[in-house]
Structure 1
Amino acid sequence: MPKNIYQLNHEPALQVTAKKPVMTSSFMLLSLLGLVVAFFTSQVHSAENADTQANLYAEKYVAQNGSQLQSLSSSPDTQLEHRKNQEEDNTRMLENGYDMMGSSTFISTSVADDLALQHGKDLRADTVLVYNKNTPIKTNIVRLDGDKAGEKAADDANKSATQTPQTIHYATYWAKLPTPLLGVHIIKLIPATSNGVALAEEVKGLTIIAVIKESPAAQARIVKGDNLLKIGEQVLENPDDLFAAVKRYAGQTVPVEVQRGNEVVKTTVALNVRK
C-alpha cells in the first residue's frame, strides 16, 4: 500500500566523459575510436570531478516538499549528530517537535562531516544528523574502442577506483517547530490499484506517524498508528481537512474520533492557540 508522503529517492546518475581530442596533421580531429565512455554508479566520482572547495552536502541538498522551514532562532546553535538508524531517528525528531527541512545524499570518498554542519548553519537548521556507510561499489570505465592510450587511461582509472574506498554520505536537516496546535504528523494511505481496481480496502482518516511529546494530542492519549477520523464537526479525509479543523477550533476543547485497530475511540482534545 503506497503512502502519500514526500520521500527522498535519488536515482543513480549516469555520467559520460570523452577523452580529449588529439592534434593530428595540424588539425584537431575527434575520432570515434578515441572516445572513452565512462559509466559511473550513483555519482561516485562527483567529488573527484568537482572543485576541491565545493561542499557536496550543499550541492546535493534537496528540500522536503519545497519547504522554507528554518529555525525559530535567527542565529541557531546548529548541532551535529552522528547517527546509525535513520527510521528511528526520524520518529524521535518528530516526537521531539522538529520537522525535516531536507536532506543531502551522495557517494564519494571521505568527506568531512563538518561540511554538513556548515550547510546546516547556512540553512539555519537546529540539528543536522549525519550517516556514513561504507559501500562495496566500484566504478569502472568501459572501453568501447581499441585505442591503446584510451585503454591505459581506463585501466588506470579502474585501478584507482578499486583501491579507493567509497562511502554513502547522507544527512538530514531539522528545525524546531513552533508550539503545535494539535501535535501530530500524519500521512494519507492510498490503496494500490490494478487496472483501476483497488487492491485493498480504503483506510479511513489520516494515519498518525508521530505524536509530539507534551502536545495536546499526547495529552489526549492519541498515539502513533491511530487514524484520525474527526475533529469537532470536521470529517478528516485529507491533510487539508486537518489544517482547516485545527485552525477553526484553535484554543477550544473539542471532541475527537480516532480509529485504533478495530475500535473507534472517542476523546477530547484542548487545542493550543498559535502564538
Structure 2
Amino acid sequence: MRPYFIVLLLVMLAACSRPVVKEPVPEPVAPGPAVQLPQEDNPYAQHYVARQLHGIKLSQGAGEPTIYQGGKELDDYQHMLNDGYQMLGYTSFEAPELSFSYAAAHAAEVQADAVVVYKKLITAPMATMDLQPVKTQVSAQPHAGAAADIYSYFATYWGKLAPPVLGVHVMQRSNNDAGPGLTVLAVITHSPAAKAGVAVGDVLLSLGGEALSSPQVLQQAAHRHAGQEVELVLRRVNAEKRVHVALGTAL
C-alpha cells in the first residue's frame, strides 16, 4: 500500500529538483458494463483509505465519474493537481483481473469525479495475503478475468475543486528547511496564481501582508481578501519576488 504522505513527499521532491515540463495526461478508459454488488464485496471499497480534508470546497459534480488508466504515478498526480482536482483517497490490493467498472462503482459511492487506476500483473501473491475469498468472490462476477492471474491494483480517487480563490497546492516546509513559507507543489491551470506567474517550487511567504505559516493560514488569508488584488511575496530559488494577484471570488 502506498501511504498518501509518501506520494506527496515524492511529488514535492520531484517538483523542487527538476524543470517544469508538460506532464502526460492519464488515459481515459471505458469502465465497461456496470457491476451490481454490495460495496463490502468490491475490493476497491474494501481497501479504500479516505483522506481527511479540512476546509476544501469541491464543485458539485454531475454525471458518471471518469476512469483513467494510470501511467507514471508522479506525473499523473501532478497532472490531476494542475487540472484542479483534490485527492479524496486511495486503495491498494491484489486480486484477479477486474474490469474498470468495479472502480467506477466505488467512485460513485464516494462521490469522486475521477479515478486513476494502476494495474500490474504479479508473478505470485504476497505470502501474507489470503486471496481465496477474493478469488471466489470475483470469479463469480461476469466481468472478472481468469482467477489464475493475480494483479496488483492501486487507484487514486479525485474530486473536482470549486473555482479557486488563489489556485495552488502547497506543503508546509519541514524543520530542516531554512526559513518560513509554503512550498508550491502545483499551480491550477488558468487560476489567479497561474495568471500571476506563480510556479511549482516557489516558496510563498505572505499574502496581503499576512505571513504564511501553514496551508490553513494561506486558505484563510486568501478568503479574507477574496475578490481583491493583493500582493503575494514569494521566494524563487534564492531571490525574493513580489507579484500582484487578482484573487477569485469565494463561494
TM-score between both structures, scaled by the size of structure 1: 0.66
The number of residues matched between the two structures is 201
- Partner Cα distance (1:166, 1:176) in 2: 32
| Structure 1, gaps ≥5 residues long | 10-50, 142-162, 192-199
Q: Which has the larger radius of gyration?
A: 1
- Partner Cα distance (2:107, 2:55) in 1: 13
- Partner Cα distance (2:54, 2:69) in 1: 24
**Aligned counterpart, 2:161:** 177
- Partner Cα distance (1:74, 1:210) in 2: 22
- Structure 1 position 140, deviation (Å): 4.9
Q: 2:67 aligns with which of 80, 83, 86?
A: 80
Are 1:238 and 2:222 counterparts? no
**Aligned counterpart, 1:210:** 186
- Structure 1 position 99, deviation (Å): 0.9
**1:16-37, Cα deviation, whole Å (9 max, x unpaired):** xxxxxxxxxxxxxxxxxxxxxx
- Structure 1 position 8, deviation (Å): 6.7
What letter is aligned with 2:159? A
CA 166–250 in structure 1, closer or farther in 2 if over 3 Å, else same: same
CA 66–216 in structure 1, closer or farther in 2 if over 3 Å, else same: closer
Q: Mapping of 1:61-100 within 5 angstroms?
A: 61-65=48-52, 72-73=59-60, 75-100=62-87
- Partner Cα distance (1:99, 1:265) in 2: 28
**Aligned counterpart, 1:224:** 200
CA 266–85 in structure 1, closer or farther in 2 if over 3 Å, else same: same
- Partner Cα distance (1:204, 1:134) in 2: 44
Q: How much identity, in percent, do the aligned residues show?
A: 32
CA RMSD of aligned residues (A): 2.7
**Aligned counterpart, 2:240:** 264
TM-score between both structures, scaled by the size of structure 2: 0.72
What letter is aligned with 2:155? A
- Residue 65 of structure 1 aligns to a residue whose secondary structure is coil
CA 190–113 in structure 1, closer or farther in 2 if over 3 Å, else same: same
- Partner Cα distance (2:162, 2:54) in 1: 15
- Partner Cα distance (1:89, 1:217) in 2: 21
CA 249–79 in structure 1, closer or farther in 2 if over 3 Å, else same: same
- Residue 186 of structure 2 aligns to a residue whose secondary structure is strand
What letter is aligned with 1:232? G
Q: 1:7 aligns with which of 5, 8, 18?
A: 5
